[in-house]
Amino acid sequence: MRQTETHMLRGVIIGGALAVLLAGCRGVLSGETFTRDGVSYRVVVPDSKGWRRVDFEDNDLAWMSTTSGHVISINSTCTGHEDPPLDILTNHLVIGFTDRELISRTPFKLDGRDALRSVIHAKLDGVPTSLQLVVLKKNGCVHDFTYISPLGAEAAYQKDFEALVAGFKQERAK
């Protein structure tokens, strides 16, 4: 792929991710603890050398790669979600993506609760992407983790996404 095509692809993925997530901010990150509206949790913050923090509406925390079209984010919703199953919550995260193909769906434990990890290939504004989504319900809140990458480049920041998920621990809000 030529450099111009790479930059164009990066711009489409970043722009699309921004359009899906939208701009905004809702809470405070102090060290590795995020707090807002009655919820507090600990996360492993990605290495600042490879990521820059960005703010998206309807997401608590998000980071964009400084060198590519990769995005990781986490969000918590503690009101207005009723109690749908994890697979339905996951399906809500892919609204706006087209040509969706479910690659895998794996239940596992996260922070002492059932969680669901899904890998989905889809298009965003016509650009092939890979989505890794993790959804968890705990103490009345739904927590979702998202890793968006160019299709075929998932391994580039997989470790950072895994650390974000593995380091999650819901705490009592202060």
Structure tokens that stand for 101 in this block:
């193909």
Would the pLDDT of 135 be above 90?
yes
Q: Report d(CA 140, CA 67) in Å as an integer.
A: 37
Q: For domain 3-171, is the CATH number 3.90.209.20?
A: no
State residue 106's pLDDT score.
97
Which has the closest alpha carbon to 17: 92, 144, 123, 163? 123
| Phi-psi group of 58: left, alpha or beta (phi > 0 → left; psi -120 to 50 → alpha; rest → beta) | left
Domain extents for the chain? 3-171
- Going by the DSSP 8-state scheme, the letter that residue 23 receives in this structure is B
Structure tokens that stand for 147 in this block:
């890793």
The pLDDT confidence band at residue 30, using thresholds 50, 70 and 90, is: confident
Least confident range from 4-8, 53-57, 79-83: namely: 4-8
Q: Cβ contacts of residue 92 below 8 Å, gap of 6+?
A: none
Q: Report d(CA 79, CA 35) in Å as an integer.
A: 15
Average pLDDT score, the chain: 83
